[in-house]
Each structure stands twice: as structure tokens, then as C-alpha cells.
Amino acid sequence: MALAASFLYLPHGLRVLATLIGGRKIIPGLFLGHVVSGIYIHSFANGTGIEILDIFNLEIIIIILLTSIGSSFCVLLALFILKINSLKIKSIKLKTILFVSVLSSIINSFFSNTIYYLSFDDWEIGVQFFQYIIGDLTGALILFYVLKFVK
């Protein structure tokens, strides 16, 4: 299996900000975006282009749906665990956003890697777990750094 985590994953920062701004109502959009990107990634992971049969493979569809659920809800779960109300976004400090980013990246990594480990015989869960976390955090930190200069 050619799937692997990236050391730089900007969408996690967007996922955190979108959830903080939009709350629960943003989840369907995050879910749909993850499903579409999951289909793309799984289709091109073998390097030969779109394999139509992979798109309609029930096992792949279930994997994409399950990882999409985990990725879509990881920020809400982090907010719930930290008892942060996303409706009061103006009172949320940068330190809190970074803490939410860290916790949600751990939740996302754990959930996604568990699904992949149970689904693929050659999934290297130890390496991939940390690559997911590093990629999510690096992407979030870069996005927050860039947004710091946007007025």
C-alpha cells in the first residue's frame, strides 16, 4: 500500500479554524471534502492513475467513510474534551487554538491509523502515527503563522 502520511498537512489547520468558526454546522462540508480527497488519494496511491474498480471497492469506500468521520469530528471532540465553547470564538486565545490543534491531531492520527492498521496488512502504524501528528501540527502552525500577518 503506497498511502503514507505527509510531514506537512495544511488542511488540518483549516479544519481547526473552520470548526472553531463554523461549529457543528461545518462538519458536513469537512466530511464531504475528506471523502472526495480520500477517493482521490486512494485512486492515485498506486501511481498508475485512477483505478475505477478501486473507487467502487466496498472495503475502500468503508475505509474512506470511517477515516472521514474521524477526521471531520476530531476538532469537535478536542473542543468537547477541553470544554471549550466554539460559539465564543472571540474569547479563544492563540494558545488555546494551538492546544486544540495538538489534541485534535492526536485524535485524528489515532483514529485514522487504527482504521488503516485494521484494513491493510502492511500498515506501519508506529511510523504513520507520528507522521500524521507531525504533518497535522506542521500544517496548522504554518497556517496560523501566515494568518498572524493577515489583517
Give every CB contact of residue 4 below 8 A, 6+ residues apart in sequence: 128, 131
**pLDDT grade, residue 3 (50/70/90)?**
low
Give residue for cell 485534535: 104
Query: How far is residue 106's CA from residue 26's CA, in Å, rounded to a whole number?
Result: 21
pTM: 0.82
Q: Within 10 A of 123 (CB to CB), how many other CB atoms are there?
A: 18
pLDDT 10s digits, 77-127 = 888 888 877 666 667 777 888 888 889 999 999 999 999 999 988 888 888
